[in-house]
A and B are shown apart, each in its own frame.
Chain A
Amino acid sequence: MGKFTVLSSVAAPIDEKNVNTDIIIPIKRLVGTDRGTFGEFAFEPWRYLTEGVENPDFILNKMPYRNAEILIAGPNFACGSSREGAVWAIQEFGIRALMAPSFGGIFFNNCFQCGILPIVLPAEIIENFMRQAISDGDNPKFTIDLAANEVTAPNGDRTSFEVEPFRRDALLNGLDDLGMTLTRRDEIGAFQATDRETRPWVYL
């Protein structure tokens, strides 16, 4: 997994609550398809008027947001299904970090699996960021510094954020969960040995 350290980019605001995974990537784009094909269909119901015809009003079709590497979203962003394709689609589109008051829980975990940083910030700050993200041709950039736990907004204001320390280390060092857990093989074996005594019926 690639490392996440500092990211500087314009940020695309999607000012809606409860944006669901089926909007981020419809199921028909996930069945029998491969990774690498999802970016084109990220936010398909909003991004296209009909198949292949872009909706010029949708934020990700406008400049400079076509090149945004950051999304700013409303509460409970990416609620709904467990499909990791929602992260893959956003990632393939070019997004590397998201900021919202809250995220769908499964999506939130999936982000870390893919080296994407989801940042939870209070609703007032997100609203303020959304206003600052609007471009009048000046390409307002946000800078996210994970090592410093800090976002610098276009106006220069710095806001600190929190990420679970374990998750932060993994992102900063490009470590994946599986690699780390595999070093705990013995611990897992020991857990199971004890657990077999207390809950033997669990083991088939």
Chain B
Amino acid sequence: MAGTRTLFDKAWDAHVVSELGGDMALLHADRILLHDLSGLRALRMLKELGHAVRDPSLCFAAPDHTVSSDPALGGKGKFHETCVVPLAELTAADKIRHYAMGEQGFGILHVIGPELGITLPGASVICGDSHTCTHGGIGALAWGVGTTELVHAMATQTVMHRKPQRMRISFNGELPAWLSAKDMILHVIGAQGAGAGNGYALEYAGSAVRAMSVEGRMTICNLSIEMAAKVGMVGPDDQVFEYLNGREYAPKDEAWDLALAHWRTMPTDDEAEFDKDIDIDVSDLKPQITWGTSPEHVVAVDGLIPDPDKEADPDRRQALRAAQEYIGLNPGARLEGTDVDWVFIGSCTNSRITDLRAAADVLKGRKIAEGVCAWAVPGSEDVKRDAEAEGLDRVFTDAGFEWRLPGCSLCVGANGENVPAGKRCVSTSNRNFVGRQGTDSRTHLASPAMAAAAAVTGQITDVRKLMS
């Protein structure tokens, strides 16, 4: 029906190759992104099955997970031979574009997709990685798939999916100083729960999203999967079009005009209805941070760690206790003022230039606290180069941060870089799961500004107080 479709519906409809009965459809995959874990495995499986890559020009690869971020090693970590090199070789054999560490264009796939114009509004993007939802920040229909689905996609350029329901989350009001996209989305996950988006495609809307940078929108969309939604999108607008114009794989000249006219029709129609609507006023929001081992374990920085005894359900009580025991904090304690050992600024959530600027604003003229180990890991070679051109690398290193090479690094530690057991890390990444940053490591998710503030004081700190 014309005039009543959501952004998601329009993107979905444009990709249906066949209806498979029920709510299932076979969808065209416009872009397939391959990394050094699932992408490599899928390439091998495809070969074993004896199939060819159907459209290599629509596939892109980069070994973001296992490269070392240690400048002294030049990117070559302990999985160089087993993961990084084979990905380069297999993609070369299949004529798939590949970006290697050190090469311009290299970076975390969810950073370089939009950065290189690989990701486009309304395009479908899949990757063997749950944070593929990030690409929704520029209006793409993007979701994470498993390895077998990836094999299927490479062989057929399609992917099967069940049509989800639609949920709109509207953020209105003016975001207070020193707060960011990360605080907004952490707040939602804390309030709604880690399962709240299950079965939904999310659209983020409202004046606070419109006012937000394209990078900020990617941060918000990135955390959709932490609410169990595979897809999160923002309607593309002029800001997005300006961001994309001139990027390597973005359309040029006449194709650009044609694309632009199409993209302008993408946003949700005024009459469209959602299966669920959530409205949030951000004007009173405080900096958010996680206290536990699920992204829903969120409090405002001045908040208290919940008391399991107040939880009626015995299983939930037990789960809260287990989380608190793991994280080494007591019920009723204030998170603010808790000592911190590590700080990580990076990951596909918060490693873009705007994130590094926000952290640098806090670090300028300051030193990190003694005993804190702090890393800044830019999301891509381009981010790194731009940051260095602005002198941000000096701000980080002068403060006592390590300025490292791009990649996933401490977000998941797939490259062997880990937060040591028992150590507490304020991290700008997206998961605080048990063992996520290393066996028995303790993660507190927060914004880049909050992470920088924690580095400076050596404690979980309200960045607004530090900067006032």
Chain A residues within 8 Å of B, Cβ to Cβ: 15-18, 20, 22-23, 26-28, 30-32, 45, 74-76, 79-84, 87, 102, 104-107, 109-110, 113-114, 164-167, 177-178, 181-182, 184-185, 187-188, 191-192, 195, 198-204
Which A residues lie within 8 Å of B156 (CB)?
Answer: 178, 181-182, 184-185, 188
Chain A residues near B255 (CB-CB < 8 A): 200-201
Q: State whether A105 and B149 are in contact (beta carbons under 8 Å apart), knowing that A177-B160, A184-B17, A184-B26 are contacts in the complex.
A: no
The answer to whether A45 and B435 have CB atoms under 8 Å apart is yes
Most central of A16, A75, A82 by chain B CB within 10 Å: A82
Across the interface, A102 reaches (CB within 8 A) one of B57, B198, B225, namely: B198
A178 to B30, CA, bound (A): 18
Which listed segment binds A: B139-147, B180-188, B398-406, B449-457? B139-147
Chain A residues whose CB sits within 8 angstroms of the CB of B198 once the complex forms? 75-76, 79, 102, 104-105
Q: Is B191 an interface residue (CB 8 A)?
A: no
Residues of A within 8 A of B199 (CB): 102, 105
Contact B315 A164 (CB under 8 A): no
Q: A17-B195, A31-B414, A203-B57 are in contact. List 4 more A-B contacts (CB 8 A).
A: A79-B228, A83-B38, A165-B21, A184-B156
Interface size class of B (residues with CB under 8 A): 35 or more
Given contacts A105-B228, A200-B255, contact A82 B145 (CB under 8 A): yes
> B130 on the interface (CB 8 Å rule)?
yes
The 6 closest A-B pairs by CB, nearest first: A76-B195, A201-B251, A113-B148, A110-B146, A84-B146, A82-B144
Whether B17 contacts A191 by the Cβ 8 Å rule is yes
A-B contact count (CB 8 A): 184
A109 partner residues in chain B, CB cutoff 8 A = 145-146, 149, 160-161
Least CB distance from B31 to A in Å reads 8
CB distance from A2 to the nearest CB of B (A): 14
The CA of A153 and the CA of B249, in the complex, are separated in Å by 56
Residue of B nearest to A1 (CB): B148
State whether B435 touches A26 (Cβ < 8 A). yes
Give which listed residue, A22, A87, A102, A184, contacts B195 with CB less than 8 A.
Answer: A102
Minimum CB–CB distance for A53 against chain B, Å: 14
Of residues 4 to 24 in B, which have CB atoms within 8 Å of A's CB atoms? 14, 17-18, 20-24
CA of A109 to CA of B419 in the docked complex: distance in angstroms? 32
CB-CB under 8 A from B30, the residues of chain A are 202
Query: Are A166 and B21 touching (Cβ within 8 A)?
Result: yes
A188-B157 contact in complex given A109-B146, A181-B26, C-beta closer than 8 Å: yes
Cβ contact within 8 Å between B152 and A178 = yes
Q: List, in ascending order, chain A residues with CB within 8 A of B123's CB.
A: 202
Which of B83, B129, B156, B229 counts the most A-chain CB atoms under 10 A from its CB?
A: B156
Min CB–CB distance A24 → chain B (angstroms): 11
Q: How far is the CA of A202 from the CA of B294 in the complex (A)?
A: 37
Which single member of B26, B148, B434 contacts A84 (CB below 8 Å)?
Answer: B148
B24 touches A113 (CB 8 A): no
Q: Which residues of B contact A75 (CB under 8 A)?
A: 195, 198
A41 to chain B, nearest CB (A): 12
Closest Cβ of chain A to B423, distance in Å, is: 17
- Whether the Cβ atoms of A22 and B434 lie closer than 8 Å is yes
Q: How far is the CB of A40 from chain B (nearest CB, A)?
A: 16
Contact check, A79 vs B160: say whether CB atoms are below 8 A apart.
no
Task: Find A188's partner among B17, B58, B228, B229 (CB 8 Å cutoff).
Answer: B17
Does chain A have a CB within 8 A of B66? yes
- What are 23 A-B contacts with C-beta separation under 8 Å? A17-B194, A17-B316, A20-B294, A23-B435, A31-B79, A80-B130, A80-B433, A105-B198, A109-B161, A164-B23, A167-B24, A178-B49, A178-B155, A181-B156, A188-B17, A188-B28, A191-B17, A195-B14, A201-B120, A201-B256, A201-B258, A202-B120, A204-B249
- Tell me the nearest residue of chain A to B27, going by C-beta: A191
- For A204, the chain B residues whose CB sits under 8 A away are 57-58, 249
Given A199-B14, A203-B58, does the pair A82, B228 have CB atoms closer than 8 Å? Answer: no
A21 and B14 alpha carbons, distance in the complex (Å): 32
Residues of B within 8 A of A102 (CB): 195, 198-199, 228
Given A177-B160, A181-B152, A202-B30, answer yes or no on A82-B433 (Cβ-Cβ < 8 Å): no
Whether A106 and B148, one on each chain, are in contact in the complex, defined by CB atoms closer than 8 angstroms, is no
CB contact under 8 A between A27 and B120, given known A106-B145, A166-B20, A201-B259: no
Tell me, in angstroms, the Cα distance from A107 to B128 when the chains sit together.
Answer: 12
The CA-CA distance from A199 to B123 in the complex, in Å, is: 9
Q: Is the beta-carbon distance between B146 and A76 smaller than 8 angstroms? A: no
Contact pattern, B 36-47, Cβ under 8 Å of A = 1, otherwise 0: 011000000000
In chain B, residues 415-468, which have Cβ atoms closer than 8 Å to a Cβ of chain A?
A: 431, 433-436, 439
B21 touches A84 (CB 8 A): no
What is the CB-to-nearest-CB distance from B416 to chain A, in angstroms, rounded to a whole number? 8
Q: Which residues of B contact A199 (CB under 8 A)?
A: 14, 122, 259, 262
Cα separation A79 to B131 with both chains bound (whole Å): 12
- For the complex, give the distance between the alpha carbons of A79 and B24 in Å: 21
Does B303 sit within 8 A of A, measured CB to CB? no
